[in-house]
Structure 1
Amino acid sequence: MTTLPDALAPDDMQTRAPAADGADAAFGAMPEWRLDDLYAAPDDPALKADIDWARQACLDFAARYEGRLAGLDGAGLAEAVAAYERIESRLGRVVSYVSLRYQQNTVDPARAKQLGDAQTAITDLTTPLVFFTLELNRLEEITLQTLLDGSPALARWRPWIERVRAFRPHQLSDELEKFEHDRSVVGVASWVRLYDETTAALEFDVDGETLSLEATLNRLSDGDRTRREAAARALTQVFRKNLRLFTLIMNTLVKEKEIDDRWRKYPSPQSVRHLSNQVEPEVIAALDAAVVEALPRLSHRYYAIKAKWLGLERLEFWDRNAPLPDADDRKIPWEEARDAVLGAYADFSPKMAELAQPFFEKGWIDAPARPGKAPGAFAHPAVADVHPYVLLNYMGKTRDVMTLAHELGHGVHQRLAAEQGELLSRTPLTLAETASVFGEMLTFQRLLAAETDPTRRKALLAGKVEDMLNTVVRQMAFYRFESRVHAARREGELTSEQLGEIWMAVQRESLGPAITLGDGYETYWTYIPHFIHTPFYVYAYAFGDGLVNALYAVHRDGMAGFQDKYFDLLRAGGTKKHGELLAPFGLDAADPGFWRRGLSVIEEMIDGLEALDG
């Protein structure tokens, strides 16, 4: 059913500070969303009309098809799926609008109320649809395959049907499924909303200045070490003050998931994410093992080098994102950031730049940081017959330019995949990160090629290494943290101290001996939104980075027709699995050497940084 989409879960929390609406003296004018492509205003009659239409459409759909799917021929079943898609699309427009307005200002009670009311209304009105996927999964396999093979109209929906039927062994009774559907609006969604509104309202006293979470995290990359430490102390103080609430939210959501997993007979807490990502557990296990094996050569080695650059025996945890000495700390104007990304995209293919251009011109990006605005960054596909929306918190750093490139990669991907329609455009998270990370790589390579100053080249290369470590090493550490938390929660409720111990253990393993994880760092799990929004989302980043490193190597080696094959990969949306999509490039994620080759790209960059030191 239509709910708040995974795509609205923010990408890895970026560190940014607030700016004035729409512009900043250092950045110039920046775009903000124009949501009128969805609805003209919060009280637009069309919004209520769409909800009313969907309510009647759901009743009509159930009256026509409930209890009758087994008697349909291929054409009739194809017509049913198409009708179901039309309802999903109309409701997706409603959810997108109220969700995006809420993300613009999560502390506005009116926006929060509209989101909550819309989610409740949609949950209620879609109850008559619950039967559809349940009955679809009850069709005998031989019967369904005969229908698919005999009807071109139905065969178009094969990928979506296969995704639905992947969950067939974990389906509950019709009555229980309807109960779960009705309960959802006061279950997970409410706890997620509580977390979001709590984090958005947090205030931090840093050297007498009151800052938001974004602004305080931004100080952790300040060039002044005393300012970084002050920010870290402020974060610790506020996280500790709210630790009981965050611990309760985590315990509740993890237990809720354990109950659901147990009733549905999922073999592991990660199973539902693997199924939705259409990726085999063995592939993710191989990725995790490859990352753990490479830690001494990657993060452990890099942070030891960075400590030496900073003149320190060891880094404190607030030094991890510190800029290098003599690094260029200028603020990059928005127009320069835009030109860098579009230029990198155009170098790869003019078509890619053409797909990205409207985001800047038509109100598809909301760039300025504002009090109350959702943290981090994301690209939301909205619905297939409109266009995606990108949220940023732009603060003019090189990393912010990379974030722009990342989210525009998502946007280009979503525009191309939209050709498949509402149901078939939905890309598994593992493949959804491909275009975003590829966009980052293109932009980085362009910036590096244009930079002639040795100090700035070193800073650029170090920044890319840190981004890749955050994308691969840090995200897989998050995955191991979640895995251990979900396993431990099955033995009983976890205290704040236990959660902190698990967090510290995986962080020590991940970051290595060159970083001191001092008092207070045990609370830092609390600000990672993915643990709350989308359990086990995080490995998709590492999957995407490794996949892109391999793809970029193929591109760099001059594969004929690479651009066309790449656009075909993006255009496929959710119609193909990773094995089918990678085959034209000669790549196989099931190959144990695949991930080692991807990680070797990071290792080679660290080698390059060591060589710069002579």
Structure 2
Amino acid sequence: LLLQEESNVSDNASIHFIENELQAWEDMYIQLRNRLEIHNHNEVLSFGKANYLAMNAETHHGRLSAFSSFTEALEKEKAVFASVLNHIGRLRNLKSNLLQEEEVLSQSLQTNGISKNALLEMWNAIERNVEKLSRVIMFHKRSKETFTWHDLMTLEENHQIHIPFSMAIENIYDALKDIDEELAQFAKCAIMNGWVDAAPRDNKPPSGFCAPFLSEGESRISLRYDGTIDSVRILAHELGHAWHFYIMSNEQSTAFLDDYLPMSMAESASIFFEMVLVDYVVKTAESEELKKSLLSWKIRNSFNYVMAIRASFQFEQTFYEESQKGPISADKLERLSIHSQQVAYGNSLTEYQPFVWMKYGQFYTANVPFYNYPYTFGYLLSLGLLEIAKQDGSKFHPKYKGFLSETGKRPVEELVKQYFHIELNDNKFWEKSLLQINKDIGEYLELVQKEV
């Protein structure tokens, strides 16, 4: 017994050491990324600015130029980034072995309150739908020699709508009001009370961020609002996080206050707000042309959740398996990344996103392996919850609040079953959520084929 206790103490010390090492390598990644200089024509761009311009520059030429320059800069630095990622892979596998886990994924699933079976049911449902989902890609690809990931994600339709910040607030308010007045008032108060810094400064990342101040029952949100529909979506997403934190601050959940916040719940809360907004703006589009543009954007956003994130998950899982054999070269990491995208997109594109494993900081996050699948989970769950909200009317909101208030107290699988009678181990739920995306695709193709 004494030897066992000594062994446990030794293991705990080793785990603590590994966690510190992981943090050091995450810091190294951030430093390398921040020092990266991207030369684009006569301008030197930061990592964040290059990434932003590659997807959001005003002209097709501007986007393509920034994307090419960004890719060239990453190509030159791939060896050092590969070295950092290899150290992280080695340490994660060591930690997993010390915890006597079957794989690195095990701890993540436990933290998120999801069984491996439920996760597999979700991925399998997506796999069964890849061909249907790819119909949009095949439509855009017709009669073209090449149609790349970058072509797909920067289709011109995404750049035709400019939304002033005041209109963004109005849209979010009206959308949430359809679910419940309390949600709408919360979002309005958060903005009116100065919780949101939306200035589009160059040093801000493309995505948003929400920081809770639990004792005050408040949050602070930062995002780069640029008038695109996507920045309205990000604002709604972060307000969803703020609402979740607000519910938690009222609840005083010990699990939550001890920094235990399952990503599965966090992303379900934020993406639900996002889906409510997206559904509303498509539904209230004033013209067929606007509706077509919004549907195109909505579908491509769904591809991020069910294709790009699936590819990230598959890459990460393969990476940890391969890491057990020793360090992996930068070129092999890139091959693994491209292969995972080919599978996720059903081989429907002629080129895929280069150097995802360098661009996505989530792979380097010290204390959170698999910082990916909870987004897909939250997205598909939110699609299901939105349908329930439409059916249940005023009965939905109290259930939704109750669901969020139990964050961290019980596994999310138990909570969705209790509050919404959803069985996550049943592929019928996942198929039903994916049907919503396929309906959008059908409607979009009907609109665009009128023009062909």
What TM-score do the two structures reach when normalised by structure 1? 0.67
Deviation sequence 1:509-531 (CA, Å, 0-9, x none): 1224442217xx54232101111
Do the aligned partners of 2:48 and 2:204 also contact (CA within 8 Å) in 1? no
Q: 1:599 aligns with which of 425, 434, 445?
A: 434
> What is the rounded CA distance, in whole Å, between the counterparts of 1:181 and 1:486 in structure 2?
20
The one-character-per-residue Cα deviations of 1:400-431 (angstroms, maximum 9, x if unpaired) are 10011111111101110122326333431112
Shift of 1:214: 2.9
Match of 1:319 among 151, 160, 168: 151
For the residue of structure 2 that corresponds to 1:576, the secondary structure is coil
Quote the Cα distance in structure 2 between the aligned partners of 1:374 and 1:464.
Answer: 21
Q: Is the 8 A contact 2:137 2:348 kept in 1?
A: yes
Alignment of 1:145-544 (within 5 A): 173-181=8-16, 184-185=19-20, 187-218=21-52, 219-222=54-57, 224-298=59-133, 300-308=134-142, 312-325=144-157, 329-421=160-252, 423-425=254-256, 426-517=260-351, 521-533=353-365, 534-544=368-378
Check conservation: 1:221, 1:323, Cα contact below 8 A.
Answer: no
> How far apart, CA to CA, are the structure 1 residues paired with 2:377 and 2:350?
28
1 CA distance for matches of 2:31 and 2:194?
Answer: 25
Distance of 1:387 and 1:172 partners within structure 2: 43
Once the 2 structures are TM-superposed, how far is the Cα of residue 565 of structure 1 from its aligned partner?
A: 0.8
What is the CA–CA distance in structure 1 between the aligned matches of 2:78 and 2:12, rounded to whole Å?
A: 34
In 2: Cα distance, 1:401 partner to 1:531 partner: 26
Distance 1:182 1:258, change over 3 A: closer
Q: For each residue in 1:217-244, what CA deviation from the matched residue of structure 2 results, as whole angstroms up to 9, or x when unmatched?
A: 2333446333232122111111112211
Higher mean C-alpha displacement, 474-483 vs 505-514: 505-514
Contact 2:15 2:95 in 1 (8 A): no
Q: Give the deviation of 1:304 after TM superposition.
A: 1.6
Q: Is the 8 A contact 2:195 2:221 kept in 1?
A: yes
Gaps of 5+ in 2: none
For residues 317 and 303 of structure 2, the distance between their equivalents in structure 1, rounded to whole angstroms, comes to 20
- Counterparts of 1:415 and 1:598 in 2: how far apart (Å)? 27
Distance of 2:415 and 2:149 partners within structure 1: 40
Q: Deviations over 1:42-98 (max 9, x none)?
A: xxxxxxxxxxxxxxxxxxxxxxxxxxxxxxxxxxxxxxxxxxxxxxxxxxxxxxxxx
Distance verdict in 2 for CA 1:193–1:358, change over 3 Å: farther
TM-score by length of 2: 0.90
- For the 8 Å contact 1:331–1:397, the answer to whether it is kept is yes
What secondary structure sits across from 1:390 in the alignment? strand
Rounded Cα–Cα distance in structure 2 between residues aligned with 1:399 and 1:535: 27
Q: CA deviation at 1:263?
A: 1.5
Mean Cα deviation higher: 264-273 or 214-223 = 214-223
Say which SS state the counterpart of residue 388 (structure 1) adopts.
strand
Distance apart, 1:183 and its partner CA:
6.2
For residues 291 and 593 of structure 1, the distance between their equivalents in structure 2, rounded to whole angstroms, comes to: 12
> C-alpha offsets along residues 310-346 of structure 1, whole Å, 9 cap, x if unaligned?
x734312321212345x65343222222222122222
What is the rounded CA distance, in whole Å, between the counterparts of 2:273 and 2:386 in structure 1? 10
User: Whole-Å Cα distance in 1 between the matches of residues 88 and 269 of structure 2?
Assistant: 31
1:553 is aligned to 2:395: no
Please state whether the residue corresponding to 1:396 is helix, strand or coil: coil
Which deviates more, 502-511 or 425-434?
425-434
**Cα separation, 2, equivalents of 1:370 and 1:538:** 26
Q: Which residue of 2 aligns with 1:578?
A: 412
Distance in 2 between residues matched to 1:369 and 1:560, nearest whole Å? 37
Distance 2:14 2:46 in 1: 39
Structure with the larger helix share: 2
- Report the number of matched residues: 438
Amino acid in structure 2 at the alignment position of 1:317? W
User: What CA deviation, in whole Å up to 9, does each residue of 1:552-604 have, x standing for no partner?
Assistant: 11122235611111111122222232233223322111112111111111111
Contact 2:48 2:203 survives alignment (8 Å):
no
- 1:331 and 1:513 mapped to 2: Cα distance? 33
Letter in 2 for 1:395: D
SS at match of 1:492: coil
**Structure 1 CA distance, aligned partners of 2:66 and 2:7?**
48
Whether the 8 Å contact between 1:418 and 1:573 is mirrored in structure 2 is no
Shift of 1:282: 1.0
Quick check: 245-254 or 369-378, which moved more? 369-378
SS at match of 1:424: helix
User: What amino acid does structure 1 have at the position aligned with 2:360?
Assistant: I
Amino acid at match of 2:164: P
Match of 1:526, as an amino acid?
M
SS at match of 1:393: coil
> Offset of 1:251 from its aligned partner?
0.2
Cα 1:358–1:571 change in 2 (3 A) is same
Aligned with 1:557: secondary structure?
helix
RMSD of equivalent CA atoms: 2.3
Secondary structure class of the residue paired with 1:210:
strand
Which residue of the partner structure matches residue 569 of structure 1?
A: 403
| Runs of 5+ consecutive residues of structure 1 not aligned to the other structure | 1-137, 139-170
Identity percentage over the alignment? 22
Q: Which amino acid aligns with 1:421?
A: Q
How far residue 501 of structure 1 moved from its aligned partner, in angstroms, is 0.7
Rounded Cα–Cα distance in structure 2 between residues aligned with 1:544 and 1:500: 28
Q: Deviations over 1:361-402 (max 9, x none)?
A: 334223224344445222233445553222212222101100
Distance in 1 (CA, whole Å) between partners of 2:290 and 2:265 is 32
Alignment of 1:23-62 (within 5 A): none
SS at match of 1:381: strand
Task: Report deviation, 1:607.
Answer: 0.9
Q: Is the 8 A contact 1:202 1:213 kept in 2?
A: yes
Shift of 1:267: 0.4
**Partner Cα separation in structure 2 for residue 172 and residue 396 of structure 1:** 57
1:5-37 CA-to-partner distances (Å, cap 9, x unmatched) read: xxxxxxxxxxxxxxxxxxxxxxxxxxxxxxxxx
